[in-house]
């Protein structure tokens, strides 16, 4: 029985990693193609829209999908179907009303002359892309509730196909490439949502009813997770908006172009990011705190060693990658690349520490810590751009990550001290 359960766990984990690598790889291909063949303005618009979609998806995952994936598996088949169905219907109604209300903003701004038609269409497209992404995110996560990673992989394959076809179409129409790339985000999200919805309609079937009791049940888990997710977006994604506000869209394009050089390692890490918390929780439950931390430490060392090998190779061919392959000429490319390497190296230990503390249910403490880290990061970014230019956003990220790592280490040390029997 233990071997069978271990085999299922490894199969589930492997499929999840493959799925995340496929999604991250599609984003890498889309970003590379936009940098290579579209204008800096078009690519900047696409990046800003994508950042908003990431914020919305992260918030919903923290408030709704994440708590459901924790609570629903422990319920009976009937109660689980009611929970996923009732909440899904409630989510659909809310998102439809919210999207229609938000679409009034770009329409009104265009009619009274505040925004151009181009900007209004970009904002409207971003709203629709976020609506589709939220529908897709909930349904694909519900497939995991029913232990159907292959179904999720199939739905995400449809998403990736539509997304990359949309990016190709955008690049064939370069004057409006930014708008069409945003439309590709929305079309892909809608396609993925429809496929996942149909899969869930076949098994276990969608049911509707009063979702109030289920919302109350997930509220305790979701509130601090939501606070942390939103603040972390400010920490990890809003630098694009800082660059756009303080400099221009060319600066956004340049920093993201250098980021693509380190993206293959980030793609791998994104692939395991969403699986770290359930894996850490499983190790904690089965092996105790000390063995969980040892296994996470070994994982950190192995992946960090892979990082260093990759970055050594990349450093020696950086000019070929950026100038010849991407056709980008960036004045401070070496400094930006070194900073991105540092940010990437910090990514894994931070995620490992967060996974360990999430397994120990320290969500409230982590939310406060992320708030402090975001304040340090954004303040340094905003104030130091006149001194360091575009590099300031990465220096700010590193400063915030440093505060976060120190704080997470102290929180984990406190947990170890408080749990001597488990250790």
Q: In the predicted model, what is the mean pLDDT of residues 277-287?
A: 68
Q: Could you say which of 210, 237, 264 is where a domain stops?
A: 237
In this structure, is residue 2 part of a structural domain? no
What is the per-residue pLDDT across 366-393, written as a single tens digit (0 to 9) for each? 777 878 888 888 888 888 888 888 888 8
What is the per-residue pLDDT across 88-109, written as a single tens digit (0 to 9) for each? 999 999 999 999 999 999 999 9
Alpha helices in 72-116 (DSSP H): 77-111
CA 136 to chain centre: 14
In this structure, is residue 242 part of a structural domain? no
Residue 144 pLDDT exceeds 90: no
Residue 47 pLDDT exceeds 90: no
In this structure, is residue 131 part of a structural domain? yes
Domain identity same for 87 and 189: yes
Closest CA to 181 of 73, 26, 293, 348: 26
pLDDT number for residue 84: 92
pLDDT number for residue 136: 96
pLDDT number for residue 11: 63
Q: Could you say which of 208, 237, 266 is where a domain stops?
A: 237
Q: In the predicted model, what is the mean pLDDT of residues 266-292?
A: 69
Residue 317 pLDDT exceeds 80: yes
Residue ranges making up the domain that contains 367: 248-423
Domain identity same for 212 and 316: no
Q: Could you say which of 213, 237, 261 is where a domain stops?
A: 237
- Which of 206-215, 226-235, 358-367 is most confident? 206-215
Q: What is the mean pLDDT of the chain?
A: 84
In this structure, is residue 68 part of a structural domain? yes
CA 33 to chain centre: 20
Domain identity same for 391 and 268: yes
Domain identity same for 32 and 78: yes
Interior angle at CA 361, CA 357 and CA 367, nearest 5? 75
pLDDT number for residue 133: 96
pLDDT number for residue 119: 92
Range 69-73 contact pairs with CB under 8 angstroms and sequence separation of 24 or more: 69/141, 69/144, 69/145, 70/221, 71/217, 71/218, 71/221, 72/145, 73/145
What is the C-alpha to C-alpha distance for residues 260 and 246, in angstroms, rounded to an integer? 22
Domain identity same for 134 and 95: yes
Q: In the predicted model, what is the mean pLDDT of residues 335-343?
A: 90
Residue 291 pLDDT exceeds 70: yes
Number of CB atoms found within 10 A of residue 423's CB: 14
Domain identity same for 291 and 325: yes
pLDDT number for residue 420: 55
pLDDT number for residue 49: 93
Token duo for residue 173: 């129409």
Domain identity same for 149 and 217: yes
In percent, the amount of the chain with pLDDT more than 90 equals: 29
Higher-pLDDT residue of 105, 68? 105
Look at the chain and report how many structural domains it folds into.
Answer: 2
* CB contact at 8 A, 400 and 346: no
Inter-axis angle of helices 177-202 and 149-171, nearest 10: 160
Domain identity same for 231 and 258: no
Residue 168 pLDDT exceeds 50: yes
Closest CA to 356 of 410, 276, 418: 276
Respond yes or no on whether the N-terminal peptide bond of residue 204 is cis (omega within 30° of 0). Answer: yes
pLDDT number for residue 423: 42
Domain identity same for 198 and 269: no
**Sequence-ordered list of residues with C-beta below 8 angstroms from that of 8, at least 6 positions apart, any chain:** none
* CB contact at 8 A, 208 and 86: yes
Q: On the CB side of 103, how many CA atoms lie within 13 Å of its CA? A: 14
Phi, psi of 330 (to 5 degrees): -115, 120
Token duo for residue 331: 């004045």
For 226-243, letters b (16+ CB in 10 Å) and e give bbbbbbbbbbbbbbbbbb
In this structure, is residue 416 part of a structural domain? yes
Alpha helices in 38-76 (DSSP H): 40-60, 66-71
Residue 3 pLDDT exceeds 70: no
Higher-pLDDT residue of 31, 121? 121
pLDDT number for residue 279: 67
In this structure, is residue 5 part of a structural domain? no
In this structure, is residue 176 part of a structural domain? yes
What is the per-residue pLDDT across 394-419, written as a single tens digit (0 to 9) for each? 999 899 888 888 988 888 888 777 76
Name the least confident of 73-77, 313-317, 395-399: 73-77
Domain identity same for 114 and 202: yes
Residue 280 pLDDT exceeds 80: no
* CB contact at 8 A, 174 and 228: no
Give the largest CA-CA distance in the chain: 68
In this structure, is residue 407 part of a structural domain? yes
Domain identity same for 218 and 303: no
The model's pTM: 0.74
pLDDT number for residue 131: 97
Domain identity same for 281 and 215: no
pLDDT number for residue 236: 67
pLDDT number for residue 292: 78
Name the least confident of 157-161, 163-167, 189-193, 256-260: 256-260
Residue 422 pLDDT exceeds 50: no
């Amino acid at each position: 029985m233990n071997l069978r359960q271990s085999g299922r766990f490894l199969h589930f984990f492997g499929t999840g990693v493959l799925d995340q690598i496929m999604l991250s790889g599609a984003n890498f291909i889309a970003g590379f193609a936009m940098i290579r063949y579209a204008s800096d303005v078009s690519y900047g618009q696409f990046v800003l829209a994508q950042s908003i979609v990431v914020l919305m998806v992260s918030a919903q995952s923290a408030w709704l999908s994440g708590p459901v994936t924790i609570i629903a598996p422990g319920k009976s088949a009937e109660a689980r179907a009611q929970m996923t169905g009732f909440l899904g219907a409630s989510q659909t109604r809310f998102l439809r009303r919210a999207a229609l209300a938000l679409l009034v903003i770009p329409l009104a701004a265009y009619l009274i002359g505040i925004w151009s038609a181009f900007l209004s269409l970009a904002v409207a497209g971003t709203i629709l892309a976020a609506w589709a992404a939220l529908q897709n995110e909930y349904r694909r996560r519900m497939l995991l509730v029913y232990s159907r990673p292959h179904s999720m992989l199939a739905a995400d394959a449809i998403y990736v196909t539509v997304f990359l076809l949309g990016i190709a179409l955008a690049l064939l129409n370069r004057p409006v490439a930014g708008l069409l790339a945003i439309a590709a985000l929305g079309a892909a999200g809608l396609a993925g949502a429809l496929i996942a919805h149909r899969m869930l309609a076949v098994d276990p079937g969608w049911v509707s009813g009063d979702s109030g009791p289920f919302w109350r049940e997930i509220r305790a888990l979701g509130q601090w997770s939501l606070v942390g997710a939103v603040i972390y977006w400010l920490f990890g994604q809003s630098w694009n908006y800082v660059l756009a506000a303080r400099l221009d869209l060319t600066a956004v394009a340049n920093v993201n172009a250098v980021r693509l050089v380190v993206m293959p390692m980030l793609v791998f890490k994104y692939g395991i990011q969403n699986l770290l918390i359930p894996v850490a929780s499983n190790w904690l439950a089965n092996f105790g705190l000390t063995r969980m931390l040892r296994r996470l430490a070994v994982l950190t060392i192995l992946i960090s060693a892979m990082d260093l090998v990759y970055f050594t190779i990349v450093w020696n061919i950086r000019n070929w990658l950026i100038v010849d392959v991407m056709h980008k000429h960036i004045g401070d490319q070496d400094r930006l690349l070194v900073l991105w390497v540092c940010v990437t190296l910090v990514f894994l230990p931070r995620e490992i520490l967060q996974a360990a503390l999430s397994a120990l249910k320290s969500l409230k403490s982590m939310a406060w810590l992320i708030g402090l880290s975001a304040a340090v990061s954004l303040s340094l970014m905003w104030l130091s751009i006149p001194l360091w230019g575009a590099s300031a956003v990465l220096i700010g990220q590193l400063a915030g990550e440093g505060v976060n790592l120190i704080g997470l280490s102290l929180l984990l040390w406190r947990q170890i001290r408080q749990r001597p029997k488990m250790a």
